[in-house]
């Protein structure tokens, strides 16, 4: 059974700092990995999607890397802003027979202070 | 971009009643939709996969008779929590995959609804 873990569980940084969020998964036979942002009481917003054959993806101040063989992904946020405060979730997609399944990590709650 | 809606966004009900939650893909069709449950400060847990034209697939530990899923069309899936109890209070989120077929690969991106907060008194 796939297990996805995120470290740290919570993080507080001052505005302007660069930071790294970590995600690890136990079964490397994944199709892709996706990073999401969730604001309190809200749904999910997709940030970056990395296919299993890719090593990284970038969008603005965000950069996500994937090391499939070691079961790890990182989300790098440059020059953090208070508006980045949210919970960040990583999720891996696997195919089981003809169906695909998304397994979520435990999340990292980020607070960026002024 | 693709949009998935949920209705209602919030519902409060008495113990023993049934609650129906709708999930719609607004500008694309989805033969499959997913239902998740999220307890406070916890991650999303997949409850079931809704399949258009066939029975839903439930994850281990999820009671299919309690959480009824109907994938009525290519843009609508409903989750009915039957005889709801306080322990069913949670945040329910659905998602639908948008599949783009093209070279060099088929890409599938999940789009999530805004969630439905259920409180059972």
CB-closest option in A32, A102, A107 to B46: A102
Among the ranges given (A45-54, A56-65, A66-75, B13-22), the one the predictor scored with the smallest mean pLDDT: A45-54
Q: Is the pLDDT of residue A65 over 90?
A: yes
Mean pLDDT of A79-104: 89
**Residues in a beta bridge with A102:** A93
**Residues in a beta bridge with B21:** B79
Q: What is the pLDDT of residue B107?
A: 65
For testing the chain B interface, which of A33, A36, A41, A44 should be mutated: the one with the most B CBs within 10 Å? Answer: A44
Longest distance between any two alpha carbons in chain B, whole Å? 52
Cα–Cα distance measured from residue B69 to residue B32, given in angstroms and rounded to the nearest whole number: 12
A24 touches chain B (CB under 8 A): no
Cα–Cα distance measured from residue B82 to residue B33, given in angstroms and rounded to the nearest whole number: 20
Q: Is B13 helix (H, G, I), strand (E, B) or coil?
A: strand
Does the distance separating the beta carbons of A93 and B108 come in below 8 Å? yes
Q: Is the pLDDT of residue B103 over 70?
A: no
* Average of per-residue pLDDT values in chain B: 90
Q: Residue B92: closest CA among chain A residues belongs to which residue?
A: A43
Q: Is A82 helix (H, G, I), strand (E, B) or coil?
A: helix
Mean pLDDT of B72-89: 95
Please tell me which residue, A28 or B107, carries the higher pLDDT value. A28
Q: Is the pLDDT of residue A27 over 70?
A: yes
A51 touches chain B (CB under 8 A): yes
> To the nearest whole angstrom, how far is the Cα of B109 from the nearest Cα of chain A?
8
Q: What is the pLDDT of residue A100?
A: 75
Longest distance between any two alpha carbons in chain A, whole Å? 48
Q: Is the pLDDT of residue B42 over 90?
A: no
Among the ranges given (A5-19, A45-59, A88-102, B33-47), the one the predictor scored with the smallest mean pLDDT: A88-102
Q: Is the pLDDT of residue B102 over 90?
A: no
Tens of pLDDT along A28-43? Answer: 999 899 999 999 888 8
C-alpha torsion angle, residues A58, B94, B34, A22 (rounded to 10): 40
CB-closest option in A41, A99, A105 to B49: A99
Q: Is the pLDDT of residue A99 over 80?
A: no
Its sign, for the CA torsion A105, A111, B1, B3, is: positive
Confidence of residue A69 (pLDDT cuts 50, 70, 90): very high
Q: What is the pLDDT of residue B43?
A: 86
Cβ-Cβ pairs closer than 8 A, A with B, add up to 54
Cα–Cα distance measured from residue A37 to residue A48, given in angstroms and rounded to the nearest whole number: 10
Neighbours of A112 (CB within 10 A): 20
Omega before residue B40 within 30° of 0, cis: no
Q: What is the pLDDT of residue B100?
A: 73
Mean pLDDT of B52-64: 91
In our burial notation (b when 16+ CB lie closer than 10 A, e otherwise), range A56-91 reads ebeeeebbbbbebeebebbbebeebeeebbbbbbbb
Confidence of residue B97 (pLDDT cuts 50, 70, 90): confident
Within 8 A of B91 by CB-CB distance, chain A residues are: 41
Does the distance separating the beta carbons of A46 and B111 come in below 8 Å? yes
Nearest to A51 by CA among A93, A89, A103: A93
């Amino acid at each position: 059974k796939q297990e996805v873990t995120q470290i740290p569980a919570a993080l507080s940084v001052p505005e302007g700092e660069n930071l790294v969020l970590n995600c690890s998964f136990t079964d490397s036979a994944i199709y892709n990995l996706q990073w999401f942002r969730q604001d309190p009481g809200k749904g999910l917003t997709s940030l970056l999607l990395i296919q299993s054959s890719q090593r990284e993806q970038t969008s603005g101040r965000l950069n996500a890397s994937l090391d499939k063989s070691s079961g790890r992904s990182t989300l790098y946020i440059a020059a953090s802003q208070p508006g980045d405060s949210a919970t960040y979730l990583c999720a891996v997609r696997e195919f089981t027979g003809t169906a695909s399944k998304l397994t979520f990590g435990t999340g990292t709650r980020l607070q960026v202070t002024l | 971009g693709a949009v998935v809606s949920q209705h209602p966004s919030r519902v409060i009900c008495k113990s023993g009643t049934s609650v129906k939650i709708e999930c719609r893909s607004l500008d694309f069709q989805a033969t499959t939709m997913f239902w998740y449950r999220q307890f406070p400060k916890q991650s999303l847990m997949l409850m079931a996969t809704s399949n258009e034209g066939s029975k839903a697939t439930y994850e281990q530990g999820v009671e299919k008779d309690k959480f009824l899923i109907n994938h009525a069309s290519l843009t609508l899936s409903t989750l009915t929590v039957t005889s709801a109890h306080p322990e069913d209070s949670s945040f329910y989120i659905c998602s639908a995959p948008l599949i783009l077929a093209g070279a060099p690969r088929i890409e599938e991106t999940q789009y999530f609804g805004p969630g439905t907060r259920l409180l059972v008194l």
